[in-house]
């Protein structure tokens, strides 16, 4: 698919791209890997670089003599733990070519075509809107994560369970993926703002500056969420420790109560003839009364000490 950057993206033919240099319009092209291999000479970007969409390891950009080339590896916002959506690109002062076999670029461009109109159309403005479209729902996503973490915190305080810990770790993993993506997008934006090849108009570099500010804010929000997950993880561990301490306290109290009773049972289990109260008819009831008295005194004492 080919588009001219006018007041909005206008679909055009491959032949219309050749007129771009004459009328000042810039273009956007979206090709598959096969189409790029066949037609890349038509774009006259003066490069022999192979843009292989099957060998992408992140979002990055490289400055060449006659062009800028790079790749995008975008986490799927619907499944951040799944496979990234990957595509490559090449651009110069006349326009940008995306090499995409995943249909990701077309989805983003359709959204731009539907909602974006430009008073001063330019390649820089298109790139800004394209990059913004990648992250435009991320703030809502992180607000959703924050609400989930608030709910998890209440569950932990009510009674820690393993499901809480699993959800915390899942959100922390998703936030980590977003932070990595923001770091890479920030590096890409800085290279664009640097404008080493003078492909962009000086007045339009403000778009890349705005995008970098957006990335900085999102990165900070993601950092706050990551810290929140760490705090909840510590809270979970502290709740588990408190629960174990309560159990140990109860076991200790029970042991302390039955220790004197065990001592009495040990004494009266000895096979001596002349033991106190051994032959008395009141001996057995007396031992029971003494045992009950010891238990009662221990309970009262532990209550006063707030051990129970």
How is the chain split among helix, strand and coil, in percent rounded to 5?
Answer: 60, 10, 25
Q: Which helix (H) or strand (E) holds 266?
A: helix 206-268
Least confident of 38-47, 63-72, 75-84, 216-225: 38-47
For residue range 102-149, what is the model confidence (pLDDT) as tens digits?
888 888 888 888 887 878 888 888 899 999 998 888 889 989 989 988
Break the chain into its structural domains and give their ranges: 1-121, 246-304
5, 122 in Cβ contact below 8 A? yes
pLDDT exceeds cutoff 80 at 242: no
pTM as predicted:
0.76
Provide the pLDDT for residue 183: 92
Q: In the structure, what pLDDT confidence band is assigned to residue 52 with cuts at 50, 70 and 90?
A: low
The CATH topology of domain 1-121 is Beta Polymerase; domain 2 (3.30.460)
Rounded mean pLDDT of 227-236?
86
Give the mean model confidence (pLDDT) for residues 171-193: 90
State the average pLDDT for the chain: 82
Fold of 246-304: Methane Monooxygenase Hydroxylase; Chain G, domain 1 (1.20.58)
Q: Does position 160 have pLDDT exceeding 70, yes or no?
A: no
């Amino acid at each position: 698919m080919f588009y001219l950057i006018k007041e909005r993206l206008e679909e055009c033919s491959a032949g219309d791209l050749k007129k771009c240099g004459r009328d000042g319009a810039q273009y956007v092209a979206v090709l598959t890997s096969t189409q790029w291999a066949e037609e890349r000479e038509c774009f006259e970007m003066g490069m022999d670089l192979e843009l292989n969409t099957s060998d992408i390891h992140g979002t990055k950009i490289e400055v060449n003599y006659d062009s800028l080339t790079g790749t995008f590896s975008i986490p799927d916002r619907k499944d951040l733990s799944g496979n990234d959506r990957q595509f490559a690109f090449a651009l110069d002062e006349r326009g940008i070519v995306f090499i995409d076999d995943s249909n990701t670029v077309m989805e983003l461009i359709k959204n731009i075509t539907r909602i974006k109109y430009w008073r001063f159309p330019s390649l820089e403005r298109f790139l800004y809107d394209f990059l913004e479209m990648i992250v435009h729902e991320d703030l809502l996503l992180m607000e959703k994560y924050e609400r989930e973490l608030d709910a998890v915190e209440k569950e932990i305080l009510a009674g820690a369970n393993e499901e809480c810990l699993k959800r915390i770790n899942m959100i922390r993993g998703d936030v980590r993926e977003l932070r990595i993506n923001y770091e890479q997008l920030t590096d890409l934006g800085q290279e664009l703002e640097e404008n080493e090849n003078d492909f962009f108009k000086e007045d339009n570099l403000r778009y890349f500056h705005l995008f970098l500010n957006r990335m900085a804010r999102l990165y900070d929000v993601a950092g706050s969420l990551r810290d929140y997950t760490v705090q909840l993880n510590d809270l979970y561990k502290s709740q588990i420790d408190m629960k174990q301490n309560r159990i140990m306290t109860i076991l200790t109290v029970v042991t302390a109560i039955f220790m004197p009773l065990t001592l009495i049972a040990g004494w009266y289990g000895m096979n001596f003839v002349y033991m106190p109260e051994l032959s008395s008819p009141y001996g057995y009831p007396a031992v029971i009364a003494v045992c009950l008295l010891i238990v009662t005194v221990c309970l009262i004492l532990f209550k006063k000490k707030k051990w129970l």
